[in-house]
Structure 1
């Protein structure tokens, strides 16, 4: 079983009467040994982000075990109902060995003269109905019998159910659990402390690079080489003259304030101390602070919800709907769709049905390219950017914004604008003597590699963020003037 919105994988299997659950690292779970007693089954609880926790179980009923495993399963489900409520998300999967139960409509019907007797077959059907479990497997998994089942209280979480060839005399069952797994912790990243930067040394390095840049005749080098040299200089200078520190991103609840975070850290320290010493006084101090923290968190959460639900705060609708979405138990995916008097369940079939429906609203045009006459107006001259204009645009950069695709901090561009502007003013149309339009070449590379961002594509010396908009406006103005002069 794999998550529908991530890379987490959960395996529920029975191999030679041995049950196991396998999880990937980014799927949080805890084993539930109190539910796995007196039967060949194993329980675990997974903690997705998009909905409530989900209890999964790998189950096996030996053919000669009669009703004892089913009674143990019933006790486990009763315990879940008492401790976690009747609305728990439960997924049971495994080899139940009930060949005499028919699942043609998803509801169990015991055939006359059932194998292993009517008592155990009816007991199993009653357990399914009592705990609102729905059976999802309708294809035979061994010969003509449906022995391997997937039972769940939340069918909207399951999709893409398939019966595929297995490794034994049973077929294997795969399905998709629609959920969002907790994103793995981002690796620590470096952040620069520009308020502690050595600005004089930075300006000296940029001036030295500018002199060497023009002495080496940049017009004889390809645009990509000029851009890489400029960018490498910026990064080396930043690392040399700007202090930095490593920052780790943390995903925290928005209602946690500084006081609560400090108490949570103190609670963690008290727990580690009590666990190491096993002293009763340390445990009492930990439990006292734990109860205080839980009370503060509940109070802060309630105040946060009241604030979002208040109609006077109309500017918080995004946070409001984000909270509502996190509280939902279902998912926005289309699990079933009726098309042409047939019920579609496969994601591929549903996508094709939507595509066919959308296609009917568009005009069926031919693919003939119209014959365009040769333009009679003169070709627009190359656009030239002045050093003063580039410096003015760099001056207007917002230093509170994050770096763009090139990764160059805006603080560096704004601080060294007077030294950088002449470098960026190099005419890209004459670079390398090829008359290359860097804007067009940039778009070509992006279209060739749609999976890559513009970070891996050279920006042709003029693709600093604020300059691109000016290029478009200047080009439109120059084209307009040229056409007006021709007329």
Structure 2
């Protein structure tokens, strides 16, 4: 919000109302440039010499209304705290620090104790069209076309014609064209081949430790994996911000 005004805050309030109505038990994390440097977030008050005090008071009211706690403390432009991080669940927040930015604002890096939710797709069948026997496909399609015409002439209704066409078409594809079952890739983008090998080794060490009841090697390697994953994640984010 480079130019703070009530209209933008009213739109923010509408968005938060919609989110809380549709997801009553969800945790909210809200971050951005709010350009309200005169709010003292430790006691939710405004400095006496504040500019646009009504607008800044409106932001305080919105955060109070939706149970949002401001978590970031370091100034993000000179001595001003302009960029803020709000949450409805402070227990999820670990740290929030600055790194040099590409503009006159610092970049906020906030570490949270949350995991992304992935909507996993079911395995699906994929036809290998390059290996299809097209002569057989055309032969089956010709036969199916004749059958559909006969059904129409016999006054079969549209839904029955469609179901007949669909059933015989897929039966023909399954019979003639090779296929395979593929799974969707939900892997995090910073999980490299090296990390995948480390995770596989970690699982092997876990299996060994479970049998021998000797957990030291597994615990040490588990820490190494966590460090490597966190390092890869930070490097990935930094590259995206360049």
Please identify the structure whose Cα radius of gyration is greater: 1
TM-score (normalizing by structure 1): 0.26
| Structure with greater proportional helix content | 2
TM-score (normalizing by structure 2): 0.46
